[in-house]
Amino acid sequence: MKLQQLLSYTRKAVDDYQMIEDGDHIAVGISGGKDSLTLLYALHGLKRFYPKKFELSAITVDLGYEKFDTEPLRALCEELEVPYTVVKTEIAHILFEERKESNPCSLCAKMRKGALNDAVKEMGCNKVAYAHHKDDIIETMLLSLIFEGRFHSFSPKTYLDRMDLTVIRPMMYVDEMDVIGFQHKYNLPVAKSRCPIDGFTKREYAKDLVKQLNQEHPGARNRMFTAILNGNISGWPERIITGK
């Protein structure tokens, strides 16, 4: 995927769900993974021509794993002229040494987002962008159906009233395969996950299930995404069809 195509998908999501307003200061949480680095490129590119002017900053929550090097991320941010902040935490130590969690994903996500949101507010940002793409939204819907018994998924835009902070997901129309292609084409400095259970989660199960369903019933993946967009899910904002 070329940058122009990424910007087109991002612009459509931002317009469809009114994610950005004049004067916004948006923080991008970059973990070192392909998704968050692609999002950084997307919003950096959008900033150059989008009619509503906004500021952009990048932030990494360091979970405390050994050998996690943030210098390549800092170098990329300097190249893009995006201010960069690293927040040091002991989340990994708490999860795997103190609590010895066997299923740490939910607690890890809660602690990570808490640390991220607190830091984002301290930086003076009013919005934070998460790098969830189309596949993430579909997989979350399946996980919700199977394990919670409800039809639900990430909202494109969510206002956190307790934090006075808005979460946006500008890559919601981008396929994961396109992200992988973008990563290779632009040689993104992706850092390997240090999590000891990476690849052995319920989300990985959902990813494999979507792949299997789409192989057996071609087009099923896109039809599931269409069902989500048209599903009147509680908490989702109104979609303004732009045709772009």
- At 187-239, the pLDDT tens digits run 999 987 666 666 557 888 999 999 999 999 999 999 999 999 999 999 999 99
For every residue of 130-197, DSSP letters joined together read ----HHHHHHHHHHHHHHHSS-----SEEEETTTTEEEE-TTTT--HHHHHHHHHHTT--PPPP--TT
- At 101-146, the pLDDT tens digits run 767 777 878 888 888 999 999 999 999 999 999 999 999 999 999 9
Q: Beta-strand (E) ranges in the chain?
A: 24-29, 54-62, 84-88, 127-129, 157-160, 165-168
Structure tokens at 40: 């950084």
State the pLDDT at residue 197. 63
Is residue 94 pLDDT above 90, yes or no?
Answer: no
* Residue-range domain boundaries for the chain: 3-229
- Distance of CA 163 to CAs 22, 47, 234, Å? 20, 25, 20
State the pLDDT at residue 70. 86
Q: What is the CA radius of gyration of the chain?
A: 18
State the pLDDT at residue 89. 83
Q: Closest Cα to residue 25, out of 114, 128, 172?
A: 128
> Exposure pattern of 167-193 as b/e (b: 16+ CB <10 Å)?
bbbbbbbbbbebbebbbeeeebebbee
Strands 165-168 and 157-160, how do they pair? antiparallel
> Exposure pattern of 212-229 as b/e (b: 16+ CB <10 Å)?
ebbeeeeeebeebbeebb
SS3 (DSSP) at 1 = coil
Q: Which helix (H) or strand (E) holds 11?
A: helix 3-16
- Answer whether 132's CB lies under 8 Å from 17's CB: no
Homologous superfamily of domain range 3-229: HUPs (3.40.50.620)
**Is the entire prediction scored with pTM above 0.95?**
no
Structure tokens at 25: 């200061």
- At 150-197, the pLDDT tens digits run 999 999 999 999 899 999 999 999 999 999 999 999 999 998 766 666
SS3 (DSSP) at 54 = strand
* Phi and psi at residue 67, to the nearest 5°: 65, 25
Amino acid at 137: I
% the chain with pLDDT above 90:
70
SS3 (DSSP) at 61 = strand
